[in-house]
Amino acid sequence: MKASQWIWLPAAVISTAAHATTYFSVEQVQRAIFPGASFSATSLPNAWRASNGGYVIVDRVVGKHEYITLAVGIHSNGTVKQIEIMDYKESYGYEVREAPWRAQFVGKSASSPLQLNGDITNISGATLSSRHVTDGVKRILQVYETSLKGKR
Amino acid sequence: MDKKFGAARPYITMSMRRCRSVALALLLAMFASAAGAEESMFAFVYTTDLLPQGKSEVEQWVTWRHQKNGGFYDQLEGRTEFEYGLTDRLQVALYANYNWTQAFHNGPFGATTPPEQFADYVVGPDDIFRASRFTGISGEAIYRILSPYTDPIGLALYTEPTIGKNFFELENKIILQKNFFDDLLTIAFNFTYAPEFRNLPGDDDPSVFNWQEETDANFALAASYRFIENWSAGFEFLNEREYNSFNFTHLSNSAYHLGPTLHFGGERFFFTATALWQMPWATVHSDTVPGTLVNGFVLDNDFEKFRFRLKAGYTF
C-alpha cells in the first residue's frame, strides 16, 4: 500500500477528537431556537427574552468528568420549544445530543414530572448524562416559573 | 451522535486499493469514536459504573507493597487489562498478571519469607530472595443489577477467576454504590469472597507439595468527591481477612488499611492513585502464624505495612 493511501488515517483520528466540542455559542443557540427573533437581556445573566415573547435560558449540568452546557428555549406560554446541548466534552454519553431524545422535552413545562424512566426515556449507556440533562431542564423551567414568567 | 467523517466524500473516484484504505480509516474512526472510558474511580474498591455496550478500554495497574517485620521487603505487582462492554449491564475483562519482589529477613522471627505469589519457592531463612514471575491470567465479569443513577442504590455482582502456576483463585464481589450531591460524591462498598488453592511445599518436607485451601474475605469502603472538573479525591478503607478454609473457619489474619485516593478522569485518559497504610488494629486469631503479628500489624502472606497502587487507562 502506498504511503499516500495512509493520508486518510490522520483524518480518521482527528474525527475521533470531535467529542470535546462546542456546538453553539449563545448567539448561535438563540438563532437556532428562535430563528429571526431579536433578544434582550433579563434580570438573570444566563437568560434572554426573545422578541416573540419566548425565552432562552443557558445553564450547565454535571457530566461524568466535566460540565455539559445546555440551552432551553421556552415559549411565551411556559412550555419547552427546544433544547440544545451547547457543548459536550465526555468520551461517551453524547447520545443526549440526538434529536429524537431531545424532542421528548418539547411541550414540557414546570408542572411536568420530568423524571428519567418516567416521562423521559433513559439512554442506556448514557444514564448519567441523561439524568443530569433531565434534571437541568427541570431546574431551568423552575427558574423560568419563579423569576421570568409574566415579566416584560 | 455526531461523527465527522471528512475522509468519506471523494471515494467514488478512487481505486479499489485506496477505497480499502479509506474503509480502514473509517472503521478506525468508528471504532475510536465508539470507544469510551469507564475508569476506575478507586484503586482498590470497585464501583457499579461499567462500560457501555461495545466500548473498550485498556488499563495498566502497578501495586507496590512495602516493608514487613524487618530487613527489607518490596513487591511490584503489574496487571495489564483489556475491558469490553458486552451489554450496558455486563462488562468483561482479561488480565495478564506479573510480579517482581525482593525480601530479606522480613518474616516471622527474622526469617526471609517470600510473598504469597512466590509461596511455592523454597527459600532459606537467611537468603536474600529476589525473583520475578508471570503469575497468571485472570478473567473478569461484572453484571450491574441496579444503577446508582436510576435506582436508590447501585448493585453489581463480580467474579474473577485467576489461574497460574501452583495457584487457582475465584474472586467474587458484591458491589454497592451510592452517589450524593449531583453525583459529585461517590461512595462504594465491596464485600469480597475469594477462595483459592495453592500448591505449596510441605512444612516437614519442602520437596513434597500439597494443595492448600484458603479464602480471602474482605470488606472495603471508599468515598471520593469531585472537587473540580476532572479531579476527585477521597479515601479507601480495607479490612482483609484470610481463612484457612472455604467456610469462614480457621481465621488466620485480619488487617485494616486506610489511606487517601486521587483520581483524574479526562476524555480518553484517566489515572487513579491510592496509598494505604496498615492500621495497628490487628489481633491474634485461631490460625495466626506465630511471629506474624507484631505491634498490632499483620505481616503474614500478602499483608504489609504500606501499599500503593496506580491505575491508568486509555480508550482507543
Q: Which domain holds residue B7?
A: 1-34
- Whether B18 and B85 map to the same domain: the answer is no
- Whether B18 and B148 map to the same domain: the answer is no
Check residue B305 and give its pLDDT: 96
Check residue A90 and give its pLDDT: 77
Check residue B135 and give its pLDDT: 93
Per-residue burial over B207-245, b = 16 or more CB atoms within 10 Å of its CB, e = otherwise: eeeeeeebbbbbebbbbbebeeeeebebebbbbbbbbee
- Whether B21 and B106 map to the same domain: the answer is no
pLDDT band at A46, cuts 50/70/90?
A: very high
- Whether B160 and B304 map to the same domain: the answer is yes
Q: What are the tens digits of pLDDT across the range B248-283?
A: 999 999 999 999 999 999 888 999 999 999 999 999
Please state the rounded mean pLDDT for residues A75-100: 90
The answer to whether the beta carbons of residues B44 and B238 sit under 8 Å apart is yes
Query: What's the CA angle centered on A106, arms A31 and A18, to 5 degrees?
Result: 55
The whole-angstrom distance between A126's CA and the closest CA on chain B is 8
**B17, B32, B85: residue with CB nearest A16:** B32
Check residue B38 and give its pLDDT: 59
- Whether B161 and B309 map to the same domain: the answer is yes
The whole-angstrom distance between A102's CA and the closest CA on chain B is 12
Q: What are the tens digits of pLDDT across the range B286-300?
A: 999 898 999 999 998
- Whether B195 and B125 map to the same domain: the answer is yes
Decide if A87 touches B, using CB distance below 8 A. no
- Whether B25 and B44 map to the same domain: the answer is no
- Whether B15 and B86 map to the same domain: the answer is no
- Whether B251 and B264 map to the same domain: the answer is yes
Please state the rounded mean pLDDT for residues A33-56: 95
Q: Which residues of A touch B7 (CB under 8 A)?
A: 8, 11-12, 15
Contacts of A95 (CB under 8 A, 6+ apart): A101, A123, A125, A126, A129, B1
- ipTM of this complex: 0.77
Given a cut of 50, is residue A11 above it in pLDDT? Answer: no
Domain ranges of chain A: 20-148
Q: Which residue has the cell 477521597?
A: B234
- Whether B286 and B229 map to the same domain: the answer is yes
Identify the segments of chain B with pLDDT beneath 70. 1-38
- Whether B6 and B59 map to the same domain: the answer is no
Q: What are the tens digits of pLDDT across the range A88-114?
A: 877 778 889 999 999 999 999 999 999
Answer whether A127 sits within 8 Å of B149, measured CB to CB.
yes
